[in-house]
Amino acid sequence: MTTILDIQDLSVSLPPGGDREFAIEEVSLTVDSCEIVCVVGESGSGKSVTAFSVMGLLDRRALNPVAGTIRLADKDLLTIDDRTLRQLRGERVSMIFQEPMTALNPVMRVGDQIAETLEIHTGLSSTQRHARVLQALADVQLPDPKSLAISYPHQLSGGQRQRIMIAMALILEPKLLIADEPTTALDVTTQAKILALIKQLQSSRGMGVLFITHDFGVVAEIADRVIVMQNGRIVEQGQVDHLLNAPKHPYTRLLIDAVPSMTPPERRHSNDKEALAANRIHKIYGKSGWFGRGRVVHAAQDISLTLRRGETLGIVGESGSGKSTVARCIMRLIDPTSGEILIDSIDIAALRQSELRRFRHQIQIIFQDPYRSLNPRRTVGDSIVEGPMNFGVAAVEAWERARELMETVGLSAESLSRFPHQFSGGQRQRICIARALAMKPRILIADEAVSALDVSVQAQVLDLLDDVRQEFQLAMLFITHDLRVAAQICDRIMVMQDGQLVERGSTATVYANPQQQYTRELLAAAPGRRKFPQKVG
């Protein structure tokens, strides 16, 4: 066990005028060979800044290391010249990033991109390089390296891309790998595989890994040691089991508690009357070219569902499973190719836009991205009253209701006159909920409504949603990729894959004994099952 990376009292300054002076402050940490160190924290905790300062990739116009040392291979990375630093990069320390799609050059064959590293640091001939590249691709367990090497990033799946990144990073067998949220953008099943891969490569090559993440599930899966950061400072660190089971710092505790359990709580079965029924919904995307039809995508294939007042139906699935398509069809934001959507036994799927307007207020939706869900140029109030006033509610009344709703979602009524950019993500999501409720809907669709939020915030918004469901006897359709979240909020769930329904049933039953293979994989892939004993019932 030798120390590869040794950061001492590192402080990085923020540009003046920010809410705080330092992005990270007096951070000290070490990474030894053969160990994976996880740095956990929520957005703004400074975990990424730490990682980037090691690589010397900080945007110098904004962020500048002002104090401390970063020792790697007995050099202080903060003081050495650019040439030496460039040499170390890729050779001694390399990095993989959150978004493999954008992290790879879209106009370069992946093989060449991997080879580039060799080109920079070795004198190998192009044939030798090619051989090494194929080897590297094999090492990251990619099928058919030859054809993969000559393909472009956009032709690969997210998992494959991340493997490419890893191959690229590890081709020179660096002593230290820095992984910045490498699985956050991936589907849960893929995530499991990538995590496994990283762990395997790490142990086989005896590297040290500095692993940045926000997800305690992931931590539980992969970490040897854990470092928890908050507001640019390290609040607690320790061996993984120890830290997960007996967190000392309240913030650590808060984060761990915020991780939703995989075990669905006991729920009463709603027999309330049916609010909405969708029968055999089918959505086909097809580019019909000038000559014949282009390729056709079946985004959703005869999906039927019923939704009772006061119950929450979850649709879970990975990206591309078609769960959002179903939601948007029901919203009539897109028109289903076939199938009917019944509200009070009126088929709104058949209605023309003009007729549809009358039914709009009955279904409302909350979107994933809190930053794009509100018109930045209109005050929160305007956004909330817009709907009711469309349906002829008097301004005074609408604003009165808006105030009440703000209280309901836990914001002050004064906020109505403010603009979205003055709120945080969580607050915006609350506002969106208020906007939805303002319509007095019978059905509420939450499309990945909490996916973009930090765990702690996530928990609060989830509670809020559950409360309003009960308070207003809403029928809620909850779209998510996150099985933990689904477990907590859904009465019944439907599992989707590639536009088709895989399995449906009460949440408890499905989680307890999944019938379908895919469902089992999905559940198995959920990170951190083993190491959260108290959370796996």
Partner 1 sequence: MLNYIAVRILSTVPVMGIVALFVFILLRLAPGDPAAVIAGDYATAEDVERIRQQLGLTDPLLIQFFRWLGDILQGDLGTSIFSNKPVTVLIAQRLEPTLLLALTTIIFSILVAVPLGTIAAYRSGSAIDRLAMLFSVGGFSIPVFVLGYILIYVFSMQLKLLPVQGYKSPFTEGIGPFLSHIALPTLTLSVIFIALISRMTRASVTEVLEEDYIRTARAKGQSELRILLRHALRNAAVPIVTVIGIGIALLIGGVVVTESVFNIPGLGRLVLDAVLARDYPIIQGLILFFSFVYIFVNLIIDLCYTLLDPRIKY
Partner 2 sequence: MSGEAAAARSDPAPLRIFLSHPGVLFGGMTLAGIVLLTGIGPVFATDPVSINPLNRLKPPGAGGFFGTDMLGRDVFSRVLNGGRMSLTVGLAVAFLSVTIGLTLGLIAGYIRSLDAVIMRVMDGLMSIPAILLAIAMIALSGATLTTVIVAIVIPEIPRVVRLVRSVVLTVREEPYVEAAIAAGTRTFQIMRRHILPNTVAPLIVQATYICGSAMLLEAILGFLGAGIPPEIPSWGNIMAEGRTYFQLTPWIIFFPGLALALAVLAVNFIGDGLRDTLDPRIARTMR
Task: List residues near partner 2 by CB under 8 A.
Answer: 17-20, 42-45, 230-231, 331, 333, 357-358, 360-361, 363-365, 367-369, 372-378, 383, 386-387, 390-391, 421-427, 432, 435, 439, 454, 456-457
Question: In angstroms, rounded to a whole number, what is the distance separating the alpha carbons of residues 167 and 197?
Answer: 11
Which of 3, 43, 79, 102 touches partner 1 by CB under 8 A?
102
Q: How near is the Cβ of 102 to partner 1 at its closest, in Å? A: 4
Q: How many CB atoms lie within 10 A of CB 390?
A: 13
Nearest to 488 by CA among 526, 515, 520: 526
Least separation in angstroms between residue 454's CB and partner 2 is: 5
- Note whether 94 binds partner 1 by CB under 8 A: yes
Q: Which range binds partner 1 by CB under 8 A, 95-103, 188-196, 248-256, 330-338?
A: 95-103
405 binds, among partner 2, partner 1, none (CB under 5 to 8 A by kind): none
CA 418 – CA 132 distance, rounded (Å): 57
Query: Toward partner 2, which CB reaches closer, 35 or 482?
Result: 482
At its nearest, how many Å lie between partner 2 and the CB of residue 430? 12
Q: Is 287 near partner 1 (CB under 8 A)?
A: no
Binds partner 1 by CB under 8 A, chosen from 1, 19, 81, 107: 107
- 178 φ/ψ angles, rounded to the nearest 5 degrees: -105, 125
Candidate segments 90-98, 242-250, 269-277, 423-431, binder of partner 1 by CB under 8 A: 90-98
Residue among 122, 152, 231, 386 that touches partner 1 (CB under 8 A): 152
Least Å distance, CB 31 to partner 2, is 24
Using the rule CB under 8 A, which residue among 32, 99, 382, 400 binds partner 1?
99
What b/e sequence results for 354-387 when a residue is b if at least 16 CB atoms lie within 10 Å of its CB, and e otherwise?
Answer: eeeeeebbbbbbbbbebeebbeeeebbbbbbbeb
Binding-site member from 23, 40, 70, 103 for partner 1 (CB under 8 A): 103
Question: Would you say 306 or 379 has its CB closer to partner 2?
Answer: 379
Stretch binding partner 1 (CB under 8 A), from 10-18, 102-110, 272-280, 331-339 = 102-110
Cα-based angle 204, 206, 209 (whole degrees, multiple of 5)? 110
89 binds partner 1 (CB under 8 A): yes
Nearer to partner 1, 89 or 283 (CB): 89
Q: Which is nearer to partner 1, 169 or 300 (CB)?
A: 169
Give the closest residue to 486 by CA, choosing from 297, 301, 287, 318: 318
Interior angle at CA 195, CA 191 and CA 197, nearest 5: 115
State the sign of the Cα–Cα–Cα–Cα dihedral 103, 107, 111, 116. Answer: negative
Amino acid at the residue 43? S
Distances, alpha carbon 514 to alpha carbons 14, 427, 481, in Å: 49, 36, 17
Distance from C-alpha of 231 to C-alpha of 267, rounded to nearest angstrom? 38
Helix, strand, or coil here: 254? helix
When asked if residue 289 is in the footprint of partner 1 (CB under 8 A), the reply is yes
Check: CB of residue 314 under 8 Å from CB of residue 492.
Answer: yes
The least distance separating partner 1 from the CB of residue 485, rounded to whole angstroms, comes to 28
Interface characters, 235-274, with partner 1 (x: CB under 8 A): ----------------------------------------
Query: Which of partner 2, partner 1, none does residue 156 bind (CB under 5 to 8 Å by kind)?
Result: none
**Partner whose footprint covers residue 90, from partner 1, partner 2, none (CB < 5 to 8 Å by kind):** partner 1
> Kindly report the CA angle at 460 between 38 and 186, in degrees rounded to 5?
45
From the list partner 2, partner 1, none, partner contacted by residue 378 (C-beta under 5 to 8 A by kind) = partner 2
Q: Which is nearer to partner 2, 384 or 495 (CB)?
A: 384
Q: Are 336 and 349 spatial neighbours (Cβ–Cβ below 8 Å)?
A: yes
Provide the token pair at 86.
Answer: 């460039």
Closest CA relative to residue 228, chosen from 220, 216, 219, 236: 236
Task: Give the residues across from 177 on adjacent strands.
Answer: 94, 209
Binding at 127: pick from partner 1, partner 2, none (beta carbon under 5-8 Å per type): none
* Residue among 373 and 519 whose Cβ is closer to partner 2: 373
| Site mask for partner 1 (CB under 8 A), range 115-144, x = bound | -xx--xx-----------------------
Distance CA 503, CA 500 (A): 9
How many Å apart are CA 346 and CA 276, to the nearest integer? 10
Q: To the nearest whole angstrom, how small is the minimum distance from the Cβ of residue 18 to partner 2?
A: 6
Q: Does 91 contact partner 1 by CB under 8 A? A: yes
Task: Please say which residue, 94 or 230, places its beta carbon nearer to partner 2.
Answer: 230
Q: What is the DSSP string of 323-370?
A: HHHHHHHHHTSS--SEEEEEETTEETTS--HHHHHHHHTTEEEE-S-T
Contacts with partner 1 by CB under 8 A lie at 55, 57, 86-91, 94-95, 97, 99, 102-108, 116-117, 120-121, 152, 154, 165, 168-169, 289-291
